[in-house]
Structure 1
Amino acid sequence: MKPKLLFVSITDKANGAENILLQAARASNASLLFLKKVDSGGLNIPGDLHAEYVSTNSVSGGFFRLVKSLSHYRTDHIVFSTHPYLNAYLGFLKRIGYLKSKLIVRECSSVLTRYSGLKKWSYKVAYWLGYPGVNLVVCQTCSMRDTFVQHLPYIDRRKVIIQKNPIDIEQNLIKAEAALPAADATAEFICAAGRLIPEKGFDILIMAFDEIKASRPKLKLLIFGEGPEQASLENLISALKLEDRVILKGWIANPMPYFKHAKACVVSSIKEGFPNVLLQMMILNPVVISTNCAGGIDEIPGIYLAEADNVNSLTSAINTALSTKKHNKDLIMQYVEDRTPEIFIKSILNALV
């Protein structure tokens, strides 16, 4: 009998974790439940998928009303979520007996090593309150699982599994066929994408680009995304006099054509669970540079590796990648071919039994 699945997320913002839930929901024809609907930059949800929104005003309001919205899914379902606070909240509802359906949670980042102070303490409290009620915890890499069980010894490690992030190769190839805007169609550029937050290391990337700009006078750096670090990055660009060379493009619905046509794609993160954008870049471009920001990245064949949070190392990797004439695309495609959304959700459900 086919299980009844519900995927729950804090918002429908088209970020990495939310895109993974959408891929899994599409692969299993499951329902989606969001605590809040974003005003812009939301997921492109197919019309044949059922999606509900708990609140249009605030995330806190969504948490408050979630209990009522879950009433249809309390029993005979498998509930899947992917943000630590939300995971903990749902786990707590399991512990007190309100939610009787099985609960799978995915760790989107190693928050207990990523944060410190009050923020870290709040996550520790959330984990302690909710995670003992979870049926299965999904980590993206071996190092993430090791960190999880080390910091949370009260969680049965047999319930903590490793499942690589999925990637829909066909959909990404289709999206990449769209034409670039006329202003960028003839430009020579490298690109990066992600939320404008310190963990993404875009300041490191901009400083690395400053080191190579003289030797590549026509090259531009395009960064896609929005976030709280925008003003700081704009100030850095201005200080380095790179206004005409480094462009913060903001959030766009489909960056895939840029990934495809770039001279190189760059992941400059300092700390990640696993950067989902890296997989998209690898499918579309044979020249991909990534910092060693997550477990397993140093094992990926065919990409150019740099140390995290190191301007000189990233500069060297970008120079090497741009100077190399032949790149091994076949190795890269072999790495991603077993990461389909169907394999992702099937493997997780098999581990739940």
Structure 2
Amino acid sequence: MNTPQQKIIFISLTDAPNGAENVLFMMAKAVNGEMVFLKKQRFSGLKVSENITKRYLSRKSIFWGFVKLVPLLRNYKRGDIVMSTHPYLNAFLGFLKRMGYVRSKLIVRECTSVFTRFTGMKKRIYSLIYRMGYPGVNLVVCQTALMKQQLLEHNAFLAKMNVLVQPNPVDINHIISQSVKPLVNGDAKLDFICSAGRLIPEKGFPILIEAFKMIKQDHPQLKLLLLGEGKERGQLTTMIAANNLTDSVFLKGQIDNPAPYFKQAKLCVVSSIKEGFPNVLLEMMSVNSAVVSTLCAGGIADIPAIAKVEVNNAKALAAAMHQTLNNKTNSDTAIAQQYLYNRRPEIFAQSILSALN
């Protein structure tokens, strides 16, 4: 999609295999772009295709990545495009562009609604860095209309800028191809419910465990597998033991390829409390017709063929899980696939570049 004279560069803090990084990777593939990572993960980094030009600026720290990024940015010309998706990095690039140091066009994507997610000093710091950096941005991309509304409410100066609502992409074909790979460590023999994400408060895993306990009596054979790693592992382990669920709920840690779990699960669940938008929901829908999600982000209410419940409500989540398990049907599969087809990375990339121009 880019010309030989034009470079499109995607800059990320790390190559961690999270939602924001995956979005940049999908767009890089769609436009034959380049990827720059400020820091390389020691373990389980994003699996970047060999045909994608990639550069890792540091193996020690993100700070040194920022230091090494500064001279690199001078290599990009006025016709080039730089895109990033982390607030601190977005603001840093925007500030350098305001100063005239960055000459290329700059696109930034909002990975979460920081002004509703954080409070106090942290929120004030974000307000400051947005005010310093975002006036230099050419295009701001929001995942949902709600995210755009929240962004403009807290940053009135952005109303004069180009702010685009562009739903996250999903590479259906890639997920389907990855989903046929076998599960290991005996997991293929289990009947299980699956959820995935970092073990952090925003993901709502305590609510999911509570809901799972409520339906356990009616589904005694089922296990709950949580894919991901994070700072709440200790608290979740304690909660699982306190509820006598050590034989039923398993923290699987970081899984490089979660697609086979999504495919083979009796049910996939997103239990988040607040998200920019949970990309994992789209991945689950790509290979499984039994999906339940909380209304943790704008746009979820409009998604067809999934069960939806309010956030922070274990009883409602348990009821939706129980009903979906008992009424699993493929009647809405075609509708779901058409919805996902309209969110292909090629459409995502073309919409953003068209808005930039």
Q: Name the TM-score class by shorter chain.
A: over 0.9
Distance 2:354 2:300 in 1: 26
Of 338, 351, 355, 1:334 maps to 338
Contact 2:95 2:136 (8 Å CA) reproduced: yes
Distance 2:337 2:49 in 1: 27
Question: 1:323 corresponds to which letter in structure 2?
Answer: N
Distance 1:335 1:94 in 2: 37
- 1:156 Cα deviation after fit: 3.4
Q: Which residue of 2 aligns with 1:18?
A: 21
1:23-102 pair list within 5 angstroms? 23-102=26-105
Question: 1:346 corresponds to which letter in structure 2?
Answer: Q
Task: Name the SS for the 2:177 alignment partner.
Answer: helix
Distance 1:245 1:74 in 2: 56
1:267-297 CA-to-partner distances (Å, cap 9, x unmatched) read 0000011100000000100000000001110
Distance 2:328 2:96 in 1: 56
Question: 2:43 corresponds to which letter in structure 1?
Answer: S
Contact 1:92 1:130 (8 Å CA) reproduced: yes
1:214-229 pair list within 5 angstroms? 214-229=217-232
Distance 1:136 1:110 in 2: 17
Question: 1:210 corresponds to which letter in structure 2?
Answer: K
Distance 1:159 1:326 in 2: 42
Question: Structure 1's 15 and 286: CA in aligned 2 closer, same or farther, altered over 3 A?
Answer: same
- 1:158 Cα deviation after fit: 4.5
Task: Name the SS for the 1:46 alignment partner.
Answer: coil
User: Mind listing any 5+ residue stretches in structure 1 that lack a counterpart?
Assistant: none
Q: Which residue of 1 aligns with 2:207?
A: 204
- 1:149 Cα deviation after fit: 1.0
Contact 1:149 1:157 (8 Å CA) reproduced: no
Contact 1:74 1:98 (8 Å CA) reproduced: no
Contact 2:289 2:329 (8 Å CA) reproduced: no
Give TM-score, length-normalised by structure 1: 0.98
% identity of equivalent residues: 51
Task: Name the SS for the 1:72 alignment partner.
Answer: coil
1:227-260 CA-to-partner distances (Å, cap 9, x unmatched) read 1111111111111111110000000110101100
- 1:180 Cα deviation after fit: 1.4
Distance 1:227 1:76 in 2: 40
- 1:24 Cα deviation after fit: 0.5
Q: Which residue of 1 aligns with 2:308?
A: 305
Task: Name the SS for the 2:26 alignment partner.
Answer: helix
Comparing 77-86 with 325-334, which one deviates more in the overlay?
Answer: 325-334
Task: Name the SS for the 2:116 alignment partner.
Answer: helix
User: Mind listing any 5+ residue stretches in structure 2 that lack a counterpart?
Assistant: none
1:104-129 CA-to-partner distances (Å, cap 9, x unmatched) read 00000001100111211111111011
Of 139, 148, 156, 2:151 maps to 148
Q: Which residue of 2 aligns with 1:166?
A: 169
How many aligned residue pairs are there? 353
- 1:65 Cα deviation after fit: 2.3
Q: Which residue of 2 aligns with 1:349?
A: 353
- 1:63 Cα deviation after fit: 1.7
- 1:76 Cα deviation after fit: 2.7
Contact 1:87 1:130 (8 Å CA) reproduced: yes
1:190-269 pair list within 5 angstroms? 190-269=193-272
Distance 1:273 1:28 in 2: 24
Comparing 114-123 with 30-39, which one deviates more in the overlay?
Answer: 114-123
Distance 1:153 1:102 in 2: 22
- 1:157 Cα deviation after fit: 4.5
Contact 1:82 1:106 (8 Å CA) reproduced: yes
Q: Which residue of 2 aligns with 1:292?
A: 295
Distance 1:11 1:190 in 2: 30
Contact 1:287 1:321 (8 Å CA) reproduced: yes
Distance 1:150 1:314 in 2: 31
Ranges of 4+ aligned residues in structure 1 off by more than 3 Å: none
Give TM-score, length-normalised by structure 2: 0.97
Distance 2:79 2:333 in 1: 44
Task: Name the SS for the 1:104 alignment partner.
Answer: strand
Task: Name the SS for the 2:156 alignment partner.
Answer: coil
